[in-house]
Amino acid sequence: MVRLVSANAASGRDRGRHDFAAWARRAAALDADVYAVQEVDHRLPRSGAEDQAAALADACARPGESWQHHFTAAILGTPGSRDTFRPATSAALAADEGAYGVALVTRFPVVRTDELRMEGSRLSIPVPLPPGAGQRVLWVPDEPRAAVAAELTTPSGPLTVVCTHLSFEPVRAGRQLRELTAWAGELPGPVVLLGDLNMPPGVAAMLSRWTPLARHPTYPAQDPRVQLDHALAAPGPGVRATSSRAEVVGASDHRALVVEVAVAG
């Protein structure tokens, strides 16, 4: 069995401050083999210039283990205002460059990785601010989106895992999902897509035509009413779910989706 986790880390935010180490400890306690993580900071000043993907790999590794991690930037700079970020148009990322995106972290050997970047919408969403902030809401613009795929060697055979975080604007998210599944369908199989798709399960299954591996509400974390976080298997044989659940991890506003799968060798 292979245990997969899809988790929106919210950059480790906890009551207005960043504490990614606490989030990573909770995530590592899930004892997964592969983590697909969204809303990941890379060397951003707001989170202490930490490489959060590397920090999660360190938190997961037991003595004698060496975990691999791969961060893919959706934007360079800090999300929140179009004045503070620009699209990440190149797969190359300087080790000390501040960025924000998605990541895969795994104990398995990685044969190769691939990246996809997708256009965001022009819309913004209102985010309520706490009393005393000086304004009631903050209008947050949509960002370009990204996906990262890793071809893994598991004890049961090869498995390709894709991690993504799609737009909050429904039409754009649908277009991104169709673009993503067409791209991922060309990767070595079997393929599993993990991520915050910002859409309910029926829509995700209809647009992707991939097989859902888990059905659990994941948002908002403390009283989940809708499933925004998903695990989908590409058409064809090779992988099936044996169990799944949704778990609170740290102070993230999403529950993590935990899925155990059997991989046909």
* pLDDT tens by residue, 173-213: 999 999 999 999 999 999 999 999 999 999 999 999 999 99
Where is average pLDDT lowest: 58-72, 84-98, 243-257? 84-98
Write down the pLDDT at residue 135: 64
Whether the CB-CB separation of 244 and 261 falls below 8 Å is answered with no
CA triplet 143, 146, 147: central angle to 5 degrees?
155
Average of per-residue pLDDT across 57-74: 95
Tell me how many domains the chain contains: 1
Mean pLDDT, range 20-38, rounded to an integer: 97
Instruction: Scan for tokens 């598991």, then name that residue.
Output: 154
224 contact partners, CB below 8 Å, separation of at least 6: 216, 217, 218, 246, 255
* Structure confidence by residue, pLDDT tens digits, 105-115: 999 999 999 99
First and final C-alpha spacing in the chain: 11
Beta strand pairing status for 157-165 and 191-196? parallel
User: What's the whole-number average pLDDT of the chain?
Assistant: 93
pTM for this prediction: 0.95
Domain that holds residue 235: 2-263
**Mean local confidence (pLDDT), 153-166:** 97
Higher pLDDT residue, 31 or 131? 31
pLDDT of residue 132 exceeding 90, the answer is: no
Residue 259 has pLDDT above 90, yes or no: yes
Residues 143 and 130: their CA atoms lie apart, in Å, by 23
Neighbour count for residue 145 (Cβ, 10 Å): 28
CA nearest to 100, candidates 66, 131, 144 = 144
Residue 133 reports pLDDT greater than 60: no
Assess whether pLDDT exceeds 90 at residue 16. Answer: no
* CATH number of the structural domain spanning residue 44: 3.60.10.10
Question: What is the C-alpha separation between 85 and 172, in angstroms, rounded?
Answer: 20
**In the prediction, which pLDDT does 136 show?**
67
